[in-house]
Amino acid sequence: MKILKLMMVIVLMCFICTPANAGRSMEQEREMCIALNALARSHCKNPAQFSYVGMQGDSIYIFNAFYGSKYTDFFCKVDSGEVIIMSRKKKYRRSVKYYIDENECGIIEYFPAACSETHSIRCCYPKSEKELKADKELEFWQKPIPDLLQEDQDAAMKVLQNKTAKSSETKPQGQPAE
């Protein structure tokens, strides 16, 4: 009996410890970002205040947050150009428009009157390590040569100052000079 309980705990831990984004496509990652940010903006809250619960069907994302006097589940259905947000008992319902720009990023321009946030929200496909490296390389090659030389000179001066500071440290009194 104890072995069976132990095995059940191990199996349960394997399911709990899997990464949150395991098995999701890049499109689903972008949709989830759009849903979470639309929900957060509609409540005038930070997206970090919402917990991802799961997914229902193809494009309904379930989040949980403190709303009113208790924790509430919110269902966010992502359609083309619109996110429909609804609470479990349908006491809260909002519709938030978004669009996809030329870079394939979802842009939300929704500014409720009660919120102080006035910037647009941008949700793009996550970049791979190869794309991040290519972006960094492109940024390097687009810098003007004088800027690159200045960066190298600043780094060299910093190393030289560190060496000079270490060699000019004074020895405590009473010790013979070497």
Using an 8 Å Cβ cutoff, are 73 and 62 in contact? yes
Over 60: is that where the pLDDT of 178 sits?
no
What residues contact residue 140 under an 8 Å CB cut-off, 6+ apart? 148
Coil vs helix vs strand at 40? helix
C-alpha to C-alpha distance for 36 and 42, rounded to whole angstroms? 10
What's residue 27's pLDDT?
87
What's residue 165's pLDDT?
75
At 18, is the pLDDT very low, low, confident or very high (cuts 50, 70, 90)?
very low
pTM of this prediction exceeds 0.75 = no
What's residue 37's pLDDT?
95
List the structure tokens of 3.
């072995």
Q: State the sign of the Cα–Cα–Cα–Cα dihedral 116, 124, 98, 41.
A: negative
C-alpha to C-alpha distance for 31 and 52, rounded to whole angstroms? 13
Using an 8 Å Cβ cutoff, are 87 and 72 in contact? yes
Using an 8 Å Cβ cutoff, are 64 and 53 in contact? yes
C-alpha to C-alpha distance for 95 and 83, rounded to whole angstroms? 6
Structure-model confidence comparison of residues 88 and 176, the more confident one? 88
What's residue 5's pLDDT?
45
In the chain, where the domains are located: 24-126, 131-163
